[in-house]
């Protein structure tokens, strides 16, 4: 009996590690959870983040931008992050843009070549 239980330990460890990993990440950007709230943040290492956008639902990224559909404070809208301007010491008002309506965001997607959000 003991031997059969031991063979499941690696599976349990793998499941735990997958459950603790971010649900989306691209470069320094990751989804993380704090006090049950989901946020998109800039990962600093050692489990430290700088919050960028609260309650993201859909995210897409390319080399220059991160597109986000999020619902902070119960109001859903579209946002984008300028990856070129973003760094860990910058104020988010310098590179997080939004909220935008769907129509305006679609126009910005075309103009700026933002990554397309799949919903």
Q: pLDDT digits over 88-116, tens only?
A: 888 888 899 999 999 999 999 999 999 99
Instruction: Place 18 in a pLDDT band, splitting at 50, 70 and 90.
Output: very low
Instruction: Place 3 in a pLDDT band, splitting at 50, 70 and 90.
Output: low
**pLDDT given at position 39:** 97
What is the spatial distance between Cα 48 and Cα 71, in angstroms, rounded to a whole number? 23
What is the spatial distance between Cα 24 and Cα 31, in angstroms, rounded to a whole number? 5
Q: What tokens were used for 10?
A: 């690696």
CA distances from 46 to 33, 43, 49 (A): 15, 9, 9
Q: What tokens were used for 57?
A: 């639902």
- Arithmetic mean of pLDDT over the chain: 85
In 3D space, the residue among 117, 92, 96, 97 whose CA is nearest the CA of residue 106 turns out to be: 117
% of residues, the chain, pLDDT over 90: 68
User: Domains of the chain: which residue ranges?
Assistant: 23-112
For residues 63 and 1, which has the higher predicted lDDT (pLDDT)?
63
Residues 6+ apart with CB under 8 A from 91: none
Instruction: Read off the pTM.
Output: 0.78
**pLDDT given at position 118:** 81
Instruction: Place 15 in a pLDDT band, splitting at 50, 70 and 90.
Output: very low
């Amino acid at each position: 009996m003991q031997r059969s239980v031991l063979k499941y330990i690696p599976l349990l460890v793998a499941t735990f590690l997958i459950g603790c990993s971010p649900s989306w990440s691209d470069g320094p950007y990751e989804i993380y959870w704090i006090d049950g709230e989901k946020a998109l943040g800039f990962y600093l290492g050692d489990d430290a983040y700088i919050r960028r956008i609260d309650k993201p639902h859909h995210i897409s990224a390319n080399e220059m931008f991160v597109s986000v559909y999020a619902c902070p404070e119960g109001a859903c809208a579209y946002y984008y992050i300028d990856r070129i301007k973003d760094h860990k010491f910058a104020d988010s008002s310098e590179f997080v843009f939004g909220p935008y309506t769907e129509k305006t965001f679609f126009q910005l997607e075309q103009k700026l070549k933002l990554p397309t959000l799949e919903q």
